[in-house]
A and B are shown apart, each in its own frame.
Chain A
Amino acid sequence: MSEFNSRMAAQRRIVHLVNGTSKGREELFGLSRQAIDRWIIANGIDAESRLVDLIRSAASRIACLATKSQEQVSEDYRALVQDIDAFAIQIETELG
């Protein structure tokens, strides 16, 4: 899988996990800051909660790879998969 496709798959994994588990009024549309902010407001979620912190951290972890230099990227993508696994487990726990 290309690095680009890996990044998109990581986003999909987090978004699906959140939307598949939480039954809010409006789904999480994406992992941009604005999309997360909208999801928080639309569903009356505590912006300071651990769940929100984990989602923002996962989003930030994925986004930072987009502008890194090519030399760093190959190594980082292996780490990304592990990190997203870890975020997914913690998010799943928070969603109960």
Chain B
Amino acid sequence: MSTHIYAFGSVCRGDVSLDSDVDLLAIVDGRDERFNLDIFSVYSAERIHALWNEGNPFAWHLALEARLLFSTEPTDLLSCLGNPKPYQKCADDCTKFANLFDEAHGSLLSQTSSTVFDLSMVFLSIRNIATCFSLGITEQPTFSRRSALELGRDSTPLSEQAYQVLERARVLCTRGYGPGLMRTETQAVLGELPAVKEWMTNLVRRVEEHE
């Protein structure tokens, strides 16, 4: 059975922190029950080929960052694939993440029982729209957790403090790790979200004009 295991993400970029996890990708033939899905992202070779052919941002992320750790074959599958096709769904993807932001923001304004989850969704939308924008519009794609702060003059208007609170919400949601958020912290973030909405709307408009 053909198996390739790669590392990708912060450990390959070298921007590790105490909160960093190690992103691992397993590419397998068909179904393979050996891999713990809490540790590995598991994809079939067929699915990887499909991502490459559609120029998916995750394919670009892997193409630009992934490092082979193990292979049952003499070849490096991802290197052999070369670059993915050009990224062409930037406007669709940015709209998708802007919608996610709107849903999470609306939810935060209407209820207080799931604040961490909704702030985590806000973080996901901000990071991903920035990554897609960087890949679709700029010459320097960034896949870092801090991508929204790395767009130069197009960076998010969020303060460093608010960004850190959102990052903590994301870690709590995905890894259940870290101190809970204080009410004052979440209120401070909420106060900055209207500016984030404006920033996102501007990014989507720029991408649509570009396409």
A is bound by B: yes
Which residues 35-59 of B sit at the A interface, judged by CB distance below 8 A?
A: 37-38, 41-44, 46-47, 50
Q: Which residues of chain B are near A20, meaning CB under 8 Å? A: 111, 113-114
Are A29 and B176 in touch, CB under 8 angstroms? yes
User: How long is the Cα–Cα vector from A70 to B44 in the complex, in angstroms?
Assistant: 12
User: How long is the Cα–Cα vector from A67 to B38 in the complex, in angstroms?
Assistant: 13
Q: Which residue of B lies closest to A41 (CB)?
A: B176
| Contact flag A28-B117 (CB < 8 Å), given A2-B96, A34-B175, A69-B46 | yes
The DSSP consensus for interface residues of chain A is: helix
Name B103's contact: one of A5, A37, A67 (CB within 8 Å).
Answer: A5
Which residues 1-41 of A sit at the B interface, judged by CB distance below 8 A?
A: 1-2, 4-5, 8-9, 11-12, 15-16, 19-20, 26-30, 32-39
B180 located at the interface, meaning its Cβ lies under 8 Å from any Cβ of chain A in the complex: yes
A45 located at the interface, meaning its Cβ lies under 8 Å from any Cβ of chain B in the complex: no
Name A12's contact: one of B37, B43, B107 (CB within 8 Å).
Answer: B107
A89 located at the interface, meaning its Cβ lies under 8 Å from any Cβ of chain B in the complex: no
Q: Which residues of chain A are near B111, meaning CB under 8 Å? A: 16, 20
Are A30 and B173 in touch, CB under 8 angstroms? yes
User: How long is the Cα–Cα vector from A33 to B38 in the complex, in angstroms?
Assistant: 8
A86 located at the interface, meaning its Cβ lies under 8 Å from any Cβ of chain B in the complex: no
Are B96 and A63 in touch, CB under 8 angstroms? no
